[in-house]
Structure 1
Amino acid sequence: MNDTPGWATPGSAPSDGPEDRRQDDQRPSDDQKDASGPKWSAEQPPPAQWSAPSGGTDTGAGSGQAPPPPQAPGQGWGTPPPGGPGGGQGWGGGQGWGGGYGGYGGWQGKPAAAKPGVIPLRPLGVGEILDGAVSTMRTHWRTVLGISLAVAVLTEILVVLLQGIVLKDAANSEALQNPDATPGEVFDAMGGLIVGTGAVQIVTLLGTIIATALLTTVTSRAVLGKSVTLGEAWRDARPQILRLLGLTLLLPLIAVVIVFVGAVPGILLAIFGSADAGAALGILGGIVGFVIAIWLMIRFSLASPALMLEKQTVGKAMSRSVKLVRGSWWRVFGIQILASLIAGVVASIILVPFTVIAGAVSGDGMSTFLDSGGDAGWAFLIISGIGAVVGSTITFPITAGVTVLLYIDQRIRREALDLELARAAGLQDYADTPGTTPGS
């Protein structure tokens, strides 16, 4: 991971990396120096004049005993292996000084980074990001599940009331199933469905925004090993709620506009020229626009935590996200897709049994609600709404936590945020710890 872009301390030379610091830490203690020399010398003595320590007996020059024969390469305290201390084997074939990576016992791989909270303060793997999101929910379950449950319950109550009272007439789809319906009736039915679906999506979106804002604060504190109450999370997130709403509405709008622009040439060709050629060109342009929209959405995917944690404006938060994702697009894309798949699978596993029960209780299920909005429709809505509440309570912390931890991980890799986090967590002399380097 040492070749990760932005690994070195901001403003330092590219060669100022972890290996250079680790070599400075590879000095033995006083009781392991040559008894005849007052200091450790950079020039190693010949193998024939350097003996292996054994059982605490002084075999150095000061003991008056003749030195033993030279050690075979790779045994005892002989000459350093090729590459010196940074060669990856330590002194004596992995049996001597371990530097900042493992103390005695040679190089041990990754340093044991400080972990004041749910993640270690170093660049994270995919599993560590997912585990950090789950650990936040498990460690601070009262606050996390309290936020998710409250938002999910309020959201689903509004959705059920909208579908059962306000939108029950607008949701009537009989005209769409009737081949003898007039174009006006079909248009009215489609308009009602669009209005109903749009209203439900807006309510769900508002709930997601509030949950994301509050859970971002909780996750950022969990990284430092600090808990936060619901009131504290709300006070910290409230000033940015409107900006987060604007950001959340702006990003889908950008995606829709891009896809539409891609399909415009085909639409124009279909109107003024060949319908078949226009349809083909429109589909091709829409696909190209869709790919471009996904590329942009991933570049902007870290804008939400940047806006909440850095108190940025919408434009600056989007710019920060682009900077953090640059050079790591595929990694960010993969982690976000994986988190979405996991959340979707979990939500489906929870929701499917409730939907089956709701269909059995209500008789005709959703079709009864669409046709009449009667008692059976209410039973279906309430039971399926309970399943949606349970699913959202579990998936909200996963999706929000993964996004926040991915943002923190990218800042650790590029901006040495681990040093700032260590100071905020109260870790003393974190930067001077062997094996600790900016971004490690």
Structure 2
Amino acid sequence: GWGGAPQGYGPPGGYGGWGGGWGGPPPAAKPGVIPLRPLGVGEILDGAVSTMRTHWRTVLGISLTVAVVTEILVILVQGFLLDDRVDTDALNDPSATLDEITRAMGDSLLNSGVILLISAIGTVIATALLTTVTSRAVLGKPVSTGEAWRDARPQVPRLFGLLFLLLLITMGVAVAGAVPGIVLAASGAGDGGVALAVLGALASTVVAVWLWFRFSLASPALMLEKQGIRKALSRSAKLVKGSWWRVFGIQLLAMIIANVVAAIVIIPFTFLAGAVSGEGASNILNGTTEFGWTFLIVSGVGSVIGSMITLPITAGVTVLLYIDQRIRREALDLELARAAGVQGSGTGTPGS
């Protein structure tokens, strides 16, 4: 069980007083993708990549399925619904009226919002399944896609609830800061109101980012400890407390690496799609949203390949960060060593 971590094991890692005449600690057992001890940044990133490499069939199967389904939905929504309704031409027109620009911005936000929502749903399901795969990979135990789904399925509705609540909290906080300035501007305060709205929005965005990363380990807590939403949020807050910058830095680094690698794949596909469909590179660079089916499908293939890279890395890093924080706070490495069948934790002898 992931829930009941052993308590009272002294210093992080549970090894007591190391080093006195021993020439340093014995090497930690490594039954799976990480050594069972507090991890460095490189080991967390390496663990996420090793999970992809070792269990590539399951990881690839999950990522590919989720990426293909979400991308098909995005293409259908863009092709059938958004292209007819969304008009963002005014954003590139210097002579456009304020009303036209406002409508175009609204259309652009609708376009982005719908795509973001579909992607978020796909990400939640992929994260749920990949959490199970990564947690088993830590123990050196393989898991099939079917087993991962059976294990994750009972928690998926709660995971959706958790994501919705997190988005509601962070977006609510981010918007709330701008409200006083908007009200002042609307009541005739002019530039002063606009300045206050911008400052308020910036300040509240900082708070929203702080909250997002404070609760960023709630997803693996919910999945692996079979927690409810409120309990998972409080677990994340407890685990991140005192380590916010570390958690923020590692997750940000993982996101940057994953998205840079994905961009290397996606950008050539986008330009290829422009060339094949006759849309041209200038349309893409101008941010035109009205693309034909050929463009949407070819660029969609690039997005699918990109998602197959980003989903496992970001999900894997979050799970390994959660495990690392529990090793540091609750000596989870001892429990993991027992679960992996390692005889004599700290001897470096992998078990079954």
TM-score, structure 2 as length reference:
0.89
For residues 214 and 258 of structure 1, the distance between their equivalents in structure 2, rounded to whole angstroms, comes to 30
For residues 290 and 253 of structure 2, the distance between their equivalents in structure 1, rounded to whole angstroms, comes to 40
Q: Answer yes or no: is the 8 Å Cα contact 1:130–1:402 preserved in 2.
A: yes
Which string of whole-angstrom CA distances, capped at 9 and with x for unpartnered residues, describes residues 247-298 of structure 1?
1122122111112221222223223352111111111111111111111111
The alpha carbon displacement at 1:196 in A equals 2.9
**Structure 2 counterpart SS, 1:335:** helix
- Given the alignment of the two structures, is residue 354 of structure 1 paired with residue 351 of structure 2, yes or no? no
Aligned to 1:130: 45
Name which of structure 1's ranges 118-127 and 196-205 shifts more when overlaid on structure 2: 196-205
Aligned to 2:219: 304
For residues 12 and 300 of structure 2, the distance between their equivalents in structure 1, rounded to whole angstroms, comes to 57
Aligned to 1:11: 8
Distance 1:11 1:253, change over 3 A: same
One of 55, 66, 78 as aligned partner of 1:163: 78
For residues 13 and 395 of structure 1, the distance between their equivalents in structure 2, rounded to whole angstroms, comes to 37
Which string of whole-angstrom CA distances, capped at 9 and with x for unpartnered residues, describes residues 185-223 of structure 1?
666554443333322221111111111000000000000
One of 163, 169, 175 as aligned partner of 1:248: 163
The alpha carbon displacement at 1:173 in A equals 2.9
Which string of whole-angstrom CA distances, capped at 9 and with x for unpartnered residues, describes residues 15-34 of structure 1?
997453x5xxxxxxxxxxxx
Aligned to 2:34: 119
- Given the alignment of the two structures, is residue 320 of structure 1 paired with residue 317 of structure 2, yes or no? no
Question: Counterpart amino acid of 1:362?
Answer: S
Aligned to 1:420: 335
What aligned pairs does 1:203-352 form with structure 2 within 5 A after superposition? 203-352=118-267
**Structure 1 counterpart SS, 2:197:** helix
Identity %: 65
Which residues of structure 2 form unaligned runs of 5+?
1-5
For residues 141 and 246 of structure 2, the distance between their equivalents in structure 1, rounded to whole angstroms, comes to 29
For residues 434 and 348 of structure 1, the distance between their equivalents in structure 2, rounded to whole angstroms, comes to 42
Distance 1:294 1:371, change over 3 A: closer
For residues 130 and 294 of structure 2, the distance between their equivalents in structure 1, rounded to whole angstroms, comes to 32
The alpha carbon displacement at 1:171 in A equals 2.3
The alpha carbon displacement at 1:395 in A equals 1.4
The alpha carbon displacement at 1:174 in A equals 3.8
One of 325, 330, 335 as aligned partner of 1:410: 325
One of 104, 108, 115 as aligned partner of 1:200: 115
Distance 1:292 1:283, change over 3 A: same
Which string of whole-angstrom CA distances, capped at 9 and with x for unpartnered residues, describes residues 139-170 of structure 1?
00000011101111111111111111222201
The alpha carbon displacement at 1:183 in A equals 7.0
- Given the alignment of the two structures, is residue 394 of structure 1 paired with residue 324 of structure 2, yes or no? no
For residues 205 and 370 of structure 1, the distance between their equivalents in structure 2, rounded to whole angstroms, comes to 23
For residues 385 and 216 of structure 1, the distance between their equivalents in structure 2, rounded to whole angstroms, comes to 26
Q: Answer yes or no: is the 8 Å Cα contact 2:28–2:347 preserved in 1.
A: no
Highest RCO, 1 vs 2 (Cα 8 Å, sep ≥ 6): 2
Distance 1:13 1:135, change over 3 A: closer
Which residues of structure 1 form unaligned runs of 5+?
1-8, 23-84, 91-98, 100-106
**Structure 2 counterpart SS, 1:169:** helix
The alpha carbon displacement at 1:434 in A equals 6.5
For residues 54 and 340 of structure 2, the distance between their equivalents in structure 1, rounded to whole angstroms, comes to 17
Q: Answer yes or no: is the 8 Å Cα contact 1:240–1:311 preserved in 2.
A: yes
Of Structure 1 and Structure 2, the greater helix share is in 2
For residues 12 and 74 of structure 2, the distance between their equivalents in structure 1, rounded to whole angstroms, comes to 57
For residues 289 and 269 of structure 2, the distance between their equivalents in structure 1, rounded to whole angstroms, comes to 21
Greater gyration radius: 1
Which string of whole-angstrom CA distances, capped at 9 and with x for unpartnered residues, describes residues 88-138 of structure 1?
xx4xxxxxxxx3xxxxxxx1x453100000000000000000000000000
TM-score, structure 1 as length reference:
0.72
Q: Answer yes or no: is the 8 Å Cα contact 1:168–1:370 preserved in 2.
A: no
Distance 1:271 1:182, change over 3 A: closer
For residues 434 and 271 of structure 1, the distance between their equivalents in structure 2, rounded to whole angstroms, comes to 68
Distance 1:271 1:298, change over 3 A: same
- Given the alignment of the two structures, is residue 148 of structure 1 paired with residue 66 of structure 2, yes or no? no
Question: Counterpart amino acid of 1:260?
Answer: V
For residues 169 and 191 of structure 2, the distance between their equivalents in structure 1, rounded to whole angstroms, comes to 28
Q: Answer yes or no: is the 8 Å Cα contact 1:18–1:435 preserved in 2.
A: no
For residues 300 and 385 of structure 1, the distance between their equivalents in structure 2, rounded to whole angstroms, comes to 31
Q: Aligned Cα RMSD in Å? A: 2.6
For residues 71 and 12 of structure 2, the distance between their equivalents in structure 1, rounded to whole angstroms, comes to 55
Question: Counterpart amino acid of 2:63?
Answer: S
The alpha carbon displacement at 1:370 in A equals 5.7
Aligned to 1:47: none
Distance 1:270 1:187, change over 3 A: closer
For residues 306 and 12 of structure 2, the distance between their equivalents in structure 1, rounded to whole angstroms, comes to 49
